[in-house]
Amino acid sequence: MYDFVVVGAGPAGSRFARQAATAGYDVIVFERGDVGLPLACSGHVSEDIWSFTPQGVRSSLLQHEIRGARFHLGGADSRAYPFFRDDPISNVIDRVELDRCLADAARDAGADLRTGHTVTAVTEREDAVEVTVTADGEQRTVQTRMVAGCDGPVSRVRTELGLPEPTERLHGVLGFDTGPDFESFVDVHLVVPTFFAWRIPRGDAGVEYGLAAPPRTDVSQRFESFIEEYGVSVTRTCSGGIPIGPPERVTSHRGFLIGDAAAQTKPFTGGGLVYGMTAADCAARNIDPSDPKSLDAYEKAWRDELARDIRLGSLIRRSYEFPTPIQRAGLRATCGRIGVHMDRPTTLFSPEQLKALFLPGRTPEDQ
């Protein structure tokens, strides 16, 4: 019997598998496809990402460094309200390679990671969990003390364990223009209901255009209009779900969810890479596969770590729906140099942010 069956080798699953295997547990990971594919992510992350990757991979994954974001209330030609720092605020990385190097690290730590294996059923018993998996047309069932659902926004494990759904799921779409762009600002356009469209310079890897919105809105058509305004055509479009709002419970008797399966994402950007791996570490530190009660410690630990930032992030997102004159006044009053951490809205109240507010040269006009 395994200690942990991990379903999904995305960042959350591979990070948990690596940490659990390092702790000496017997871990198997089932991934239904190829690691990292298909791509459905911008890979725009804070520098914190490097605390979760193996040493020495930064230079091969990093595509570009970002210093700030320009907010717009309209499309390509609308007025920009810049928020920036003097040092890099975030990194744009190769997301496919990120997944591959996290999976390699899990294997190196001793986890058995199998691609082309789809989990189709999970049955919890008092002393074990039965996980049914299909590969090459063959079906088999394995026994494990615990199952980790790291299978993304549409989580089979979540359904099988009867755990509640996230509050909502946005639909994101993105596409790439191949011309190199080394600008140090991303552009954020508040032009869609409840969320935004974006433009991300990716250095030699070109420029990414994207948009996310609730599924009831016509996401594809809005994306087409958005890139038309920029006057570009994109290749390689892709799309995916963005879960927002973690459910009340992400643990069952012998199962638990990590990452997008648990909606451990930033409500104001949809980013889930750093939050998912933060929660993976909470799981690895707290869960003892022989003791179902240890799942309570995981629920507490990840919420202690992330819940305040998720709550504040939800409040920030509400401002995307404010009437335009109020948004304009708010952006005009607050734009300029900032001291916030992009994953931590609670740093809006930090000494760094206060210092940034009162330093000379704060607004773009002062520069």
Interface ranges with ligand FAD (CB under 6 A): 7-13, 30-33, 40-45, 118-119, 150-152, 156, 172, 174, 210, 240, 242, 259-261, 265, 270-273, 276
Residue 274, classed as helix, strand or coil, is helix
Tokens 């974006």, residue located:
198
Nearer to ligand FAD, 241 or 364 (CB): 241
Q: How far is CA 321 from CA 189, 270, 291, 310, in A?
A: 12, 16, 45, 18
Instruction: Report the C-alpha gap between 286 and 280 in whole angstroms.
Output: 10
Shortest Cβ distance from residue 270 to ligand FAD (Å)?
5
**Beta carbon of residue 4, minimum distance to ligand FAD (angstroms, whole number):** 14
Q: Which is nearer to ligand FAD, 92 or 356 (CB)?
A: 92
Please identify which residue in the block is written with the tokens 């140090």: 184
CA 45/CA 66 separation, integer angstroms: 10
Q: How many CB atoms lie within 10 A of CB 51?
A: 11
Q: Which is nearer to ligand FAD, 72 or 95 (CB)?
A: 95
CA distance 107 to 124: 26
Looking at the Cβ atoms of 7 and 338, the one nearer to ligand FAD is 7
Smallest gap from Cβ 33 to ligand FAD, in A, equals 5
User: Which pair of tokens denotes residue 319?
Assistant: 């401002």
In the complex with ligand FAD, the residue whose CB is nearer, 107 or 362, is 107
**What is the rounded CA–CA span in Å between residue 354 and residue 321?**
26
Nearer to ligand FAD (CB atom), residue 249 or residue 328: 249
Query: Which residues of the chain form beta strands (DSSP E)?
Result: 2-7, 27-30, 44-45, 62-66, 68-72, 80-84, 90-93, 112-114, 118-124, 129-135, 138-149, 168-177, 185-192, 195-201, 207-213, 235-244, 255-257, 336-337
Instruction: Tell me if 122 sits within 8 A of 160, measured CB to CB.
Output: yes
Q: Which is nearer to ligand FAD, 191 or 356 (CB)?
A: 191
Query: By C-beta, is 218 or 366 nearer to ligand FAD?
Result: 218
Contact by Cβ (8 Å): 154, 170: no
